[in-house]
Amino acid sequence: MAIEVGIRGLAEALVEQADTAKEVGSGDLLVYATPCMVALMEGAAYESIAPYLAEGESSVGTKMDVTHLSATPVGMSVRAESVVTAVEGRKVTFSITAYDEAGEIGRATHERVVIKTERFLEKTYDKL
C-alpha cells in the first residue's frame, strides 16, 4: 500500500481542565489550549497514514502552520479532520481543520516525514 492524496483522518477528544491554556502553560485562561489543538491535529494526520507504513516505519511531524480561530470551553467535544494533500517521496502534507460543537476552531497545514524507526531512534539517542 502507498500513501496517496485524499487519505483522511479523524481525532476526537473531550476538553478537560488539563487541556486548558492555564494548565499547559500557554496562557492564563481555562479554555482549550492551542498546543492541545495542535496535538489533536497531528494525531489525526499520524493515524490516517499509519496503516500505509511498512513494518519498522513510522512518521514524525516536521512542520505545522496553524491558526487557532475560536476558543473552546472545558466540557465541549473537539475533533480534527485531516486530508493528505501532497506526497513527495517521504514527505506527506496535510490540510487539517479542527472543530468544536459550535463550529470551526482552527486550521493547519502540516508536514510529516516517513522514517525508519530503528535508524531514527539510534540517531536521536546518539546525541547523548
Place of cell 491535529: 41
Q: Where do the domains of the chain lie?
A: 8-125
Kindly indicate the confidence band of residue 1, based on its pLDDT and cuts at 50, 70 and 90: low
CA distance 32 to 87: 31
CB pairs under 8 A, 24+ apart, for 12-15? 12/40, 12/77, 12/78, 12/79, 12/80, 13/40, 13/77, 13/78, 13/79, 14/75, 14/76, 14/77, 14/78, 15/72, 15/73, 15/74, 15/75, 15/76, 15/77, 15/78, 15/100
The dihedral formed by the CA atoms of 91, 95, 100 and 102, expressed in degrees to the nearest 10 = 180
Pick the CATH number of 8-125 from 3.40.640.10, 3.40.50.150, 3.10.129.10, 3.10.20.30: 3.10.129.10
Positions marked catalytic: 34, 42, 68
Q: What are 61-80's pLDDT values in tens digits?
A: 999 999 999 999 999 999 99
Q: What are 92-110's pLDDT values in tens digits?
A: 999 999 999 999 999 999 9
